Amino acid sequence: MQCDVLLQNARVVDPRNGVDGQFDLAISDEVVCGVERKLEPQDASEVYDVSGMVVMPGVIDLHVHTSRRHKGYNAHRMMARAGVVTALDLGGPLDEFLEFCRNNPAGLNMAALQAVRPGHTTRDEDPGPSEIADVLQESVERGALGLKILGGHYPLTPEATRRIMEVCNEHRKHVAFHSGTTRTPGNVDGLLESIDLAEGLRLHLPHINSYCRGAVRGATQEISEALEALQGRENLFTEAYLAIINGTSGRCTDGLPESLATRRCLEEGGYEATQEGLRRAIIDGYARVGKESSGENINVTGEEALEEWKYRDTVVSVNFPVNPAEGRLLCAVARDDTGDFIVDAISTDGGGHPRNVAVECGLALVRTQGLTMNEFVQKTSWMPAEIIGLPGKGHLAPGADGDVTVVDPERCRPVMSFNRGRLIMHRGAVVGNETTVITTEHGRKAIQDMGLRAYTADTQDGIFYADDPRAALK
């Protein structure tokens, strides 16, 4: 078989197509052209012996951030090093997302939702249907897949929150909601409110674990309540991450952190929810500040962190070690009464945040038998592809996009990755040099006019708007 790339002697895992065994995998003209027991290396342009490794569909991270506040100019390389091939930026801003796609490429496929934030993309916290429709149309025409409600950070009224879901559903565009409104904060009660607000509508609910930190009723009780409330909610599509640290904003205005999530984290740590409280939390090491180092973002503490926060005039990302183990682990492994996972996908909420650990921590769960390898691939590739609406990704059948991540199951590390047959990462070295923006047909021209490669997607091609979402996976 003539091909461009041949991966030999791997365990190939593709749960969508029931493949799990020792195979060679070939890619030609950007798509998978064969998964067979033995393929001849003389027929391939590039040959890689990946004995002892697992070859899986390219990792798809359903929740990342690449804005300037998150030092997004490093985010693409950080994700590529972590084995990611495709990622969804939840909140933009769209201008910054596109800027870094064009100027800081690492070979990834990138999609984005535009943030709905009062005083920025809407006039206030209670936008009406026509204003929301205008924001959605403008965002989609510029390349976004839909909208993200930043409730936990910059809340809207419950009524406006519901209206955004309704408008996005009417136009069949992706919509995600960081739980929290002007009535209820972004904790477990905010999550329960979100479930009620979304009744009868399709909605992406991100980072389920982050609502269950024990601030209201104790972490164990909160995660139990959350998982019980999510069972049977086929209109909801969910993800959670495995890092102990969260990610939020260190920006302060008039003596207060702008983000309500930052204020809640300070209070949970015993600090005042003020700029002075954040300063003290940074000095004590409870608040970690994102800082650039050798082409990637790291977290620093103490005096070094304080100097960075002050030097950047507080406009930095901050992280707090606030995610309890029970929430992180149960969101990854918990099942409903039918045996299906309650939380659909493993994400990172990473990108520019230095916590791109879906592969590292997910494979650790495989090693400890919390997940099978098939289940790990399902939650980090197949389900995310279905949720976004990417029928060519998330699997390795002939004709599928040649998106591949190769992982070392013993060391719990990504080894290499390919985007449609192009090598983008090899043993930690990022070699990709182009970004492909996943957009709708309405945004294709805007993306191409920027000199970026466009990949057209339609959320109706996946399970997000399917009549019977879970049956579509059987």
Q: In this structure, are 191 and 79 located in the same domain? A: yes
Q: Is residue 455 a part of any domain in this protein? A: no
The residue among 72, 64, 109, 123 whose CA lies nearest residue 90 is 64
In a domain, 240, yes or no: yes
110 and 142 co-located in one domain: yes
Residue 458 domain-assigned (yes or no):
no
Q: Are residues 220 and 78 part of one domain? A: yes
Q: What is the mean pLDDT of residues 105-118?
A: 97
Tell me whether residue 411 is exposed, middle or buried, using C-beta atoms within 10 angstroms of its C-beta: 0 to 12, 13 to 18, 19 or more: exposed
Domain span holding position 267: 249-318
Query: Among residues 115, 343, 148, which one has the least CA distance to residue 229?
Result: 343
Classify residue 440: in a domain, yes or no. Answer: no
* Cβ–Cβ under 8 Å, residues 319 and 262: no
Q: Based on the fold, state whether residues 199 and 115 are members of the same structural domain.
A: yes
Q: Within this chain, do residues 102 and 211 fall inside the same structural domain, yes or no?
A: yes
* In a shared domain, residues 140 and 37: no
pLDDT-based confidence at residue 472 (cuts at 50, 70, 90):
low
The tokens for 245 are 């640290």
- Mean pLDDT in residue range 212-240: 95
Whether residue 206 lies inside any domain: the answer is: yes
Query: Where does a domain end: 294, 318, 342?
Result: 318
Other CB atoms closer than 10 Å to residue 311's CB: what's the count?
Answer: 11
Q: How much is the pLDDT for 470?
A: 77
Residue 402 lies in a domain: yes
Task: Please provide residue 393's backbone torsions phi and psi, each rounded to the nearest 5 degrees.
Answer: -120, 170
State the average pLDDT for the chain. 95
Q: What is the pLDDT of residues 251-278, one digit of tens each?
A: 999 999 999 889 999 998 999 999 999 9
* Same-domain pairing of 228 and 344: yes
Indicate if 298 and 168 belong to the same structural domain.
no
What is the domain count for the chain?
3
Are 28 and 79 within one domain? Answer: no
230 and 356 part of one domain? yes
**Is 376 found in the same domain as 410?**
no
What's 151's domain CATH number? 3.20.20.140
Q: How much is the pLDDT for 373?
A: 98
Distance CA 36, CA 38 (A): 5
Average pLDDT over residues 308-317: 94
> In the numeric block, which tokens belong to residue 116?
């709905």
The pLDDT, as a whole number, for residue 372 is 98
Terminal Cα distance for the chain, rounded:
32
Name the packing angle between helices 129-141 and 158-170 (round to 10°): 50
